[in-house]
Amino acid sequence: MAKILKNTTNSDIFVSDTGILIAANSSYDTQPTDALLWAASDELIIHLGSGDLLGNDGTKDLTPAEATKIFQGLYPSSVGIDGVTTTNGGLDVNATVTIEPFKVNNTFRVDWSKTKVDLKKQSLGYTSIYTYSGTGNLYSFKIQFNSKDVEIKLSIDGITIFEVPCDLLEDLFHNEDSMVSLFFLKWDKSKDILTFEPKDPMSFGTSVVIEAQADSESNSKDMKRYMINIDKVS
């Protein structure tokens, strides 16, 4: 399903909590990699409600309520058909079509924060960004900084999964793309956003800890916001 935003005004609209500008009287195709960013956007909901931005699913324009559900992820996950067989084994074109609602595991959560966290300079060590103690599965996360000059560290059950400088991710790739990737890590150069998205969920038995630090001694850096997709079993 496409997720398109139409600017219905004669002025550019800057959705500041996503860092994205939508030009006047134009359409913007949102990217799947930014889904969590749009889902957490308070300004998007305001613009949809006012009519300045109009949601579209690729086939039709949406009401503000429909668009809000789509951008927050609450859309049908599957379509079921009742009475699909006929006497000759074909599809009954008069069958009743039912839409199954989006289902969420009771333990699944999207943890997010838009509270700025000051990161210590390198000699002072890491600052904790996110900690969860318990058991479950880590699906993915996005973290936005104010600079590429930061290092990020993920530990699961006390074991370091990765510890990488974001500027290294960017510098390793000499191309004009705004998004660079290294296996399960992606770095958006235009927005200073790190995405961690493994192929399969990572199970943990005791804890998940995400930390970051400035990778220099000159200036401290900031963590601006994050979104974590996590299954908290206990």
- Give tens-digit pLDDT for 19-45: 899 999 999 999 877 887 888 888 898
Averaged confidence pLDDT in the chain = 80
Give the CA angle between residues 86, 90, 94 to the nearest 5°: 60
Predicted local distance difference test score (pLDDT) of residue 90: 53
| Rounded mean pLDDT, 191-216 | 89
In the chain, the domains with their CATH numbers are 4-71 (no CATH), 108-232 (2.60.120)
Instruction: Give me the mean pLDDT over the 185-201 stretch.
Output: 86
Q: State whether residue 175 is helix, strand or coil.
A: coil
Res. 9: pLDDT tops 50: yes
- Cα dist. 49→26, 46, 158 in Å? 18, 5, 45
pTM summary value = 0.55
Contacts of 65 (CB under 8 A, 6+ apart): none
Rounded CA separation 193/180 (Å): 11
Structure tokens at 186: 């992606």
CA angle 4, 9, 15 (to 5 degrees): 60
Strand partners, 87: none
Backbone angles phi, psi at 7, to 5 degrees: -85, 115
